[in-house]
């Protein structure tokens, strides 16, 4: 940590303060303070649109040791509001390293703080739940800032991160299938996993309608991850009700999983501190196996709210029993809460992309 860094403060909605040093761009930002437990994949975390509106705490104590590069981003920019680390590595070492974490944050206009007790902060969030906070560089009026922090809300998250117009990406090799990938804040590797399996992928805006999907002539639909409260996306949920009537195979990930559940009459709830990291154990009930998964979500589908005539809970979290997947009975569709495309974490569940391809090929699952 550079001695030249300016003083910075993390102020939480409950009044707790953590004094540290400025990292990245100097400034003041307000967001929802969360923690991520991944030991690697910090560049993927920084560029994951699902962190829109959030201040992310890395629980691993040293971040930036392999630097940053132009190959690992999961989107075109950083979407998170702020970044918190215990210590950042000023002299990274890796054959792909192109720059330091601090330089990357400055280039991406991200305000960060380092040198604070991230273990204490993480324990606070685990016990009290996710709460709003602010990273402040320099002096500030405490009461005025607390008022702003407590009034903060993450709004229009999906609309803010989605692309404005459709984009087409060719298959790697021979085109086997055509897929529409809804951009609710999608990670690039979802697209890559489909393309390398012979899919031509058309990434479409979040509010694309059933008629527009039908006009594309695709063989399947991918519902991506994304930020915010799933219940906020009323327009998307109504569109999905019509899209399901097309009879096309559907595969949903994270927010896509939650939106499909809502479109089918189930409900979602906010979690105390969510699942964010690369070490979440998930039980696949059909295979009777436990997989290690990468996750990033603060909301969950209430498993008991899934109508058994419409679908069944296919995966559950081995730690807390929350719903991690649904297989639908009335339509060719399945969804999961975790990230089978993650490369900053385990690769255990990438087989689900093969299942989606098989479903488009008309093979029973």
Q: State the catalytic residues.
A: 254, 339, 341
Instruction: Please say whether the beta carbons of 291 and 349 come within 8 A.
Output: yes
Strand partners of residue 18: 10
Token pair recorded at residue 183: 């951009």
Instruction: Please say whether the beta carbons of 168 and 48 come within 8 A.
Output: no
* 231 burial level (CB within 10 Å; 0-12, 13-18, 19+): middle
Cβ neighbours around 288 below 10 Å, total: 7
Helix axis angle for 255-263 and 234-243, nearest 10°, is 70
Q: How, if at all, do strands 289-301 and 131-137 pair? A: unpaired
Scan for tokens 């393309």, then name that residue. 195
Angle at 64 between CA 10 and CA 95, to 5 degrees: 170
Token pair recorded at residue 68: 């940053």
């Amino acid at each position: 940590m550079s001695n030249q860094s300016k003083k910075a403060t993390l102020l939480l909605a409950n009044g707790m303060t953590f004094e540290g040093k400025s990292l990245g761009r100097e400034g003041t930002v307000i967001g929802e303070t969360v923690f991520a437990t991944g030991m690697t994949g910090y560049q993927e975390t920084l560029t994951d649109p699902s962190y829109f509106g959030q201040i992310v705490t890395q629980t691993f104590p040293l971040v930036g040791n392999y630097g940053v590069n132009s190959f690992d981003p999961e989107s075109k920019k950083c979407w998170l509001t702020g970044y918190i680390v215990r210590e950042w590595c000023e002299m990274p070492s890796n054959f792909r390293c192109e720059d330091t974490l601090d330089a990357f944050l400055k280039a991406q206009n991200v305000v960060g703080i380092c040198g604070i007790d991230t273990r204490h902060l993480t324990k606070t969030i685990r016990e009290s739940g996710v709460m709003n906070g602010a990273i402040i560089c320099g002096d500030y009026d405490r009461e005025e800032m607390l008022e702003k922090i407590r009034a903060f809300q993450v709004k229009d998250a999906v609309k803010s991160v989605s692309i404005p117009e459709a984009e087409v990406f060719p298959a790697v090799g021979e085109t086997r299938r055509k897929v529409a990938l809804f951009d609710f804040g999608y990670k690039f590797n979802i697209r890559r996993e489909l393309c390398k399996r012979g899919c031509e992928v058309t990434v479409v805006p979040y509010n694309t309608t059933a008629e527009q999907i039908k006009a594309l002539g695709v063989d399947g639909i991918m519902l991506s991850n994304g930020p915010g409260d799933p219940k906020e996306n009323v327009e998307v949920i109504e569109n999905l009700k019509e899209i399901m009537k097309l009879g096309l195979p559907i595969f949903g990930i994270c927010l896509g999983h939650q939106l499909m559940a809502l479109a089918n009459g189930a409900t979602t709830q906010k979690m105390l501190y969510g699942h964010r990291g690369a070490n979440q154990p998930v039980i696949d009930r059909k295979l009777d196996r436990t997989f290690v998964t990468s996750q990033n979500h603060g909301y969950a589908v209430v498993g008991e709210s899934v109508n058994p005539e419409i679908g069944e809970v296919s995966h559950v979290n081995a730690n807390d029993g929350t719903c991690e997947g649904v297989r639908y009975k009335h339509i060719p569709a399945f969804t999961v809460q975790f990230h089978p495309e993650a490369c900053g974490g385990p690769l255990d569940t990438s087989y689900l992309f093969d299942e989606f391809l098989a479903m488009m090929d008309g093979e029973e699952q």
